[in-house]
């Protein structure tokens, strides 16, 4: 972490300021701490910096499957790797934010490999990006070198930031995978300053996405399997099914049939060949591994946003779920 970013962090226990207690290793640029210790001036709690990332949680938690997923697929969904603009389109399509946000502070909650961190950083804003799993390490490899990015290993339920601080907060693909999505959502507005903008999404509950969705009948079993073993099984399954999936894809709405066969088929995005298959490994695992996976109705999600006292609320259904945009009064 860049020492310049220390002011962006507080102790998640006391909310007091942190200071650098020890530096064990710096980068070639000495203002980057690779390993060391932060300590809270109020309560004395200590937080290690490991591999350049300040750590407020350990990696052993319910999100470790995500850590594995984003380590194996650290670049798969980056636009610069896939050759399509899916991440950029989703970032701007959902947030409706301007492309130049220099001088602002953005908080990203649940970054995964950091495919959206990249686009948030390109706005010129200072971006603080956290995740609960060791996906932070994948994000650090891709975005840690950026002067305007701070990557943090932390929990949405105990975020180490000052309240009422950020101009913008976004949280994509995360809430449904927490043990209590509504409480997780309620954490987000606290970190926005007055007039700050929030954008968050969650899986939508429609008949097609719930009752008629094969994953819900299989996941109760697969979510209990060790992530490494499950990933190996997913790769074998996709490899075995791929010739059939390639034929099914050719018939009208064929990619929908593939999804029901538990083959995450993103051919509709224009992907093909090796990259299409990589996305299939990644997202089939992503369907089957999460410990928590909740779908909510648009009106339910909207009611949470209203309860959080945000204003100018908009919700919409997209291919990814229900998206909400709102402003803190």
Q: Does 39 bind Zn ion (CB under 5 A)?
A: no
Mapped onto helix, strand or coil, the DSSP state of residue 14 is: coil
Q: Name the burial class of residue 274, with classes exposed (0-12), middle (13-18) and buried (19+) by CB atoms within 10 angstroms of its CB.
A: exposed
Interface mask (CB under 6 A) for ligand SAM, residues 82-121, using x and -? ----------------------------xxx--xx-----
Give the residue ranges of DSSP H helices in 161-253: 181-187, 215-222, 227-248
Q: Using the rule CB under 6 A, give the single segment among 44-52, 172-180, 235-243, 294-302 that binds ligand SAM.
A: 172-180
Binding flags for ligand SAM, 63-82, as an x/- string (CB under 6 A): x--x---x------------
Length of the chain: 329
Beta bridge partners of 2: 32
- Of 178, 258, 284, 308, the one binding ligand SAM by CB under 6 A: 178
Give the one residue of 7, 14, 232, 316 binding Zn ion; rule: CB under 5 A: 14
Q: Which is nearer to Zn ion, 42 or 206 (CB)?
A: 42
Pairing, β 192-202 against β 166-171: parallel
251 exposure class (CB count in 10 Å sphere: 0-12, 13-18, 19+): exposed
Residue 45 binds which of ligand SAM, Zn ion, none (CB < 5-8 A, kind-dependent)? Zn ion
Q: Does 185 bind ligand SAM (CB under 6 A)?
A: no
**Pairing state of beta strands 311-317 and 322-327?**
antiparallel
Question: C-alpha angle with apex 215: 113 to 200, nearest 5 degrees?
Answer: 45
Residue 189 binds which of Zn ion, ligand SAM, none (CB < 5-8 A, kind-dependent): none
| 155 touches ligand SAM by CB under 6 A | yes
> Which residues would be at the binding site for Zn ion (CB under 5 A)?
11, 13-14, 16, 40, 42-43, 45
């Amino acid at each position: 972490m860049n020492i310049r970013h220390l002011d962006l962090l507080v102790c998640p226990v006391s909310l007091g300021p942190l200071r650098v207690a020890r530096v064990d290793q710096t980068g070639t640029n000495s203002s980057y701490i690779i390993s060391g210790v932060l300590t809270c001036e109020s309560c004395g709690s200590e937080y290690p910096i490991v591999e350049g990332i300040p750590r407020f949680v350990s990696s052993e938690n319910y999100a470790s499957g995500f850590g594995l997923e984003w380590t194996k697929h650290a670049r798969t969904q980056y636009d610069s790797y896939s050759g399509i603009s899916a991440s950029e389109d989703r970032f701007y399509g959902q947030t409706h934010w301007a492309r130049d946000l220099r001088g602002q502070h953005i908080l990203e909650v649940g970054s995964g490999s950091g495919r959206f961190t990249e686009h948030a950083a390109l706005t010129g804003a200072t971006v603080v990006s956290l995740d609960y799993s060791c996906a932070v390490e994948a994000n650090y490899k891709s975005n840690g070198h950026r002067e305007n990015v701070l990557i943090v290993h932390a929990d949405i339920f105990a975020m180490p930031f000052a309240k009422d601080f950020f101009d913008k907060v976004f949280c994509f693909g995360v809430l449904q995978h927490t043990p209590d999505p509504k409480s997780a959502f309620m954490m987000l507005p606290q970190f926005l300053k007055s007039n700050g903008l929030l954008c968050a999404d969650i899986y939508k509950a429609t008949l097609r996405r719930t009752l008629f969705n094969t994953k819900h009948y299989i996941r109760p079993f697969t979510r209990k399997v060790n992530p490494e073993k499950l990933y190996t099984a997913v790769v074998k399954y996709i490899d075995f099914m791929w010739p059939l999936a390639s034929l099914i894809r050719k018939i009208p709405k064929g990619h929908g049939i593939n999804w029901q066969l538990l083959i995450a088929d993103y051919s509709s995005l224009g992907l093909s060949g090796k990259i299409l298959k990589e996305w299939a490994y990644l997202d089939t695992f992503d369907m089957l591994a999460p410990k928590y996976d909740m779908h909510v109705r648009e009106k339910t999600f909207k009611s949470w946003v209203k309860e959080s006292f945000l204003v100018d609320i908009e919700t919409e259904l997209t291919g990814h779920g229900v998206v909400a945009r709102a402003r803190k009064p």
